[in-house]
Structure 1
C-alpha cells in the first residue's frame, strides 16, 4: 500500500495519523518515515484497511484495540546513550 493510499484509508477510518499512532502504539515519527519510502508495511496496511472497513460497518474499532492494552516498544542496546559514560583510559 502506498503512503497516499494509507492516508486515504485513515480518512475512511475517520482517524488522524497522530491518533492512529497512539492507538496502535507506534511512534508517529516511525509512521511518517514511510512517506519517504513511498509505502507502508503490510501489517500497517492491514490494520488501517480493517479500521476503515469497521468504521464503514459502524463498529467501534477504537475500543477493541484499546482493550488489547498494547505497549509501545522501546529501543534497547544500539544507539546513543542518554547519559554520557565515563571513558576508560588505557595505561601503558
Structure 2
C-alpha cells in the first residue's frame, strides 16, 4: 500500500512538473513590441549611466552632448514605433 502511494505521488509530481503548459523553461515568442520595450529600457539605462559619468567628470561636455543627443533620438524612434504598433493593436502581451 505504501509503495503504491509513493508511485502515485511520484507520477503526479512528474505530470505536474513536466506538463507542457507548466514548463518554466519554455519561453514565449517575442513580438516586435516586446523587443522595442526591452530596447527602450536599455536606452534609458544608458542615459542614466551617461548622466552619472558626466557628473563624475569622465566625459567632456561636447562628448556628453553628442552621446545624449544620439541616445535621445534613438529613444524617440523606438517610442514612436511602439506607439504605431500599439495603435494597430499589436501589444505583445497576448502570446504565451
Q: TM-score, length-normalised on structure 1?
A: 0.28
The structure where helix makes up a greater share of residues is 2
Q: TM-score, length-normalised on structure 2?
A: 0.27
Greater Cα radius of gyration, structure 1 or 2: 2
